Amino acid sequence: MNIIFMYESEINTAAGSKVESIPQDRINHLDTTIADLIQTLESTGLNMQSCNIEYENLPEELDAFEDLFERLLNFREKRDDALTTFEFEEGVTSVEKEKIRQFDREVMRSYQDHDNFLGNGASAEVYAMDTNDTICVKFITSQESYNENNHIRTEFELLSHVYAHTRDGAVKTPYPIFSRIHSTEGHSYGREKIHGARLSQLLETPEKYPELLALAAEADREQLTQTLLAFVEEMHEIGVVHCDLYKRNLMLDREGNLVVIDYGKGKKLAFKEEREDERKSDIYNAKHSLQDFFTKLDTLTVNK
């Protein structure tokens, strides 16, 4: 669908410009693009024999190439829609849902775009959106590895649950927006984009974040630690253990707030006494990670 937007724009431009005077260039361009589209659809297991026959016997006329091209694009768009399941957080309006569906293809366009890359783990990568600065998208890159922990629906549910119960607290968690289940393109979900950086990023590339480092240097460390531990305890009270509270999953935003992200290894608690070891680990890792961050922060020459 990204290709649709690009080429339909070109088609519209060509229709009203002098590009029509050199249709052979356009035919050559469409010829290559149609072949790529057919190959892409065949790679998903579709039988494209009849389409291949039509393509091989196309007359050397611009209208014929444009007609086949547009029909292929329309087919691929409808097929993608049929294969994609969106699951929206409660409270998302119909207007917002429609906007999300409209930029569905932009979600995929952002994937593996180096300029939009925000971070990664063993089984997923996170990217910013080209067209929306308030959303980032987590793409599952290794379904087998990811499934050792949670299905994406489970992670999305944990994020939703924690956000709903802690959104007014001093420590934040991103608000969830949508999950995207797709049988061939893989799964992903969209959440609030935090304007800030992971604590690990602040230490690894401090030159990129002078303002955030200044905020961190001026922070009341004891108070920040206590608010983080209070968040972890509240998370446990509502029946969730995070199981991955390290610097890579703790962010500092532009207002100096801590933000807990990535519930990919999180678990639900069936009863309060369950997963005692995980709950203790959450508390220990949160406290130790923050202390370690501040210790290393003091050694950075950028703050001296």
Any idea which residue has 């949670």 for tokens?
A: 150
258-286 tens-digit pLDDT: 999 999 899 998 776 678 889 999 999 99
pLDDT by residue (tens digit) across 179-212? 877 766 678 888 999 999 999 999 999 999 999 9
pTM equals 0.66
DSSP tag of 107: H
**Residue of 125 and 83 predicted with greater confidence:** 125
List every span in the chain annotated with CATH 1.10.510.10. Answer: 196-303
Q: Could you report how far apart the first and last alpha carbons of the chain are, in Å? A: 50
Q: What is the model's pLDDT at position 147? A: 53
Two tokens, residue 281: 């680990």
Non-local (6+) Cβ contacts of 160 within 8 A are: 89, 90, 176
CATH architecture observed for domain 196-303:
Orthogonal Bundle (1.10)
Q: What's the mean pLDDT in 210-228?
A: 95
Per-residue pLDDT band at 73 (split at 50, 70, 90): confident
Q: How far is the CA of 217 from the CAs of 89, 234, 294, 296, in angstroms? A: 36, 27, 8, 11
Residue 5 pLDDT: 28
